[in-house]
Structures are given as structure tokens and as C-alpha cells.
Amino acid sequence: MKAFKAVQGVPLLLICTVLILGCGSEASGEEPGGQSETEGTSTSSLSIDGFQIIWSVRESNLEITASAPTTGWIAVGFEPTAAMKDADIVIGYVEGGEVFLRDDWGDNYTSHKADIDLGGTDDVTAVSGYEESGFTGITFSIPLSSGDEYDHILEEGGTYTIILAYGANDADDFEGYHEWAETLEIELR
């Protein structure tokens, strides 16, 4: 388990980003995603039922900022074959100002284990995180191709099925059942 200190000032920036990007149609509970270009880097976003995800490809890494209306864990999973099975999952929470992240693999339809417990490697890097006003937000980075058999190879321009999920308030762990989950597709730009 890795622990990282939250970066001061990030919560306000992330909250502002969520508020700005969250302005859209709420009729279906899903808000339109956006895309912007900054200094040659394309950033995309999506908001659904209060879960905000912002992603961009930076060199050979995928950087993701995820936030959700919970004071428990949040997770993003890539390319499940069915439910959680075979999904490359990053799950994390913030407790006492520290970010705790784990690189997991969906070992069954309704369960996941840490890559290192399966013989793989932990390839997720925490950038920052916060927990405030009923929201948890974490920014992390993963390699597009880690070489670990428990991580999917991702390519810029590819379309991928992702799982977004979060746990109940105060569920600061890696094992709790989800309070909310959704599966959808995104394009990595």
C-alpha cells in the first residue's frame, strides 16, 4: 500500500474543474464530456451521476483525475470482460490528508485483488488527492504499457470500456462493496 501527502491547493482547483465541466444536461443523469487542448496535450472529461473523470495521455502515461460524492473509496477500471472480471482497476481513498492507492485486477465477476498479490507489479502513481465537503478526489498516473500481465495495454486514440465506482461514506478501504457503479466507454486522447 502506498501513501502520499495531498498537495495543498489541489482541492479548490479540482472542485472548480468539476463545477465548470459539470455544466450540462442533467436530464438523464449523464452530462456531456468535454475535450480541450493545452500545449499539445488533449484533455477529455465526463461527468455522470456526480462522478467526474478527467483524463489525458502524457507521453507514455495516462493521467486521470477522478472525483465522486463520497468520503470513501473511488475506483476506475479498464477493459472488464464481464462485470469486474479481467478489469485493470485503480482503487483509492484519502484518509488524514494521505492518498492510498492500489493497482488491482478483477480476478472474478465480483472481486478483485492487488496485482502484487497475484504476482504482478503495482504500477499506479499518486499525484494528489483530497477529501472535503462530501467528495473524494484523486489524481493518479498509470503507464499505457506497464509490462505487467495484470495491466491492460492502452493506446492513445483507442476506445475502452471503463468501470467507474465508489464506496459508501467513510469506507476507507480497498475491499468494501460499491455504493454506485457504472460501465461506459471512453476514447483516450
pLDDT tens readout for residues 102-139: 999 999 999 999 999 999 999 999 999 999 999 999 99
Task: Flag whether 63 is in a domain.
Answer: yes
Task: Write out pLDDT tens, residues 25-80.
Answer: 332 333 445 554 445 568 999 999 999 999 999 999 999 999 999 999 999 999 99
Question: What's the average model confidence in pLDDT over 81-98?
Answer: 96
Task: Flag whether 31 is in a domain.
Answer: no
Q: What range does the domain containing 65 cover?
A: 2-22+37-187
Task: Flag whether 32 is in a domain.
Answer: no
Task: Flag whether 116 is in a domain.
Answer: yes
pLDDT of residue 42: 83
182's CB contacts (< 8 A; 6+ apart) are 48, 49, 51, 163, 164, 165
71's CB contacts (< 8 A; 6+ apart) are 131, 134, 135, 136, 169, 170, 172
User: 41: which strand partners?
Assistant: 38
Residue 64 near residue 140, CB atoms below 8 Å:
yes
Query: Total structural domains in the chain?
Result: 1
Task: Flag whether 172 is in a domain.
Answer: yes
Residue 142 near residue 153, CB atoms below 8 Å:
no
pLDDT of residue 1: 40
Task: Flag whether 28 is in a domain.
Answer: no
pLDDT of 156 higher than 50: yes
Task: Flag whether 137 is in a domain.
Answer: yes
CATH of the domain at 63: 2.60.40.1210
Buried residues in 162-173 as b, exposed as e (16+ CB within 10 A) = bbbbbbeeebbe
pTM exceeds 0.75 for this model: yes
**At 148, is the secondary structure helix, strand, or coil?**
coil
Task: Flag whether 75 is in a domain.
Answer: yes
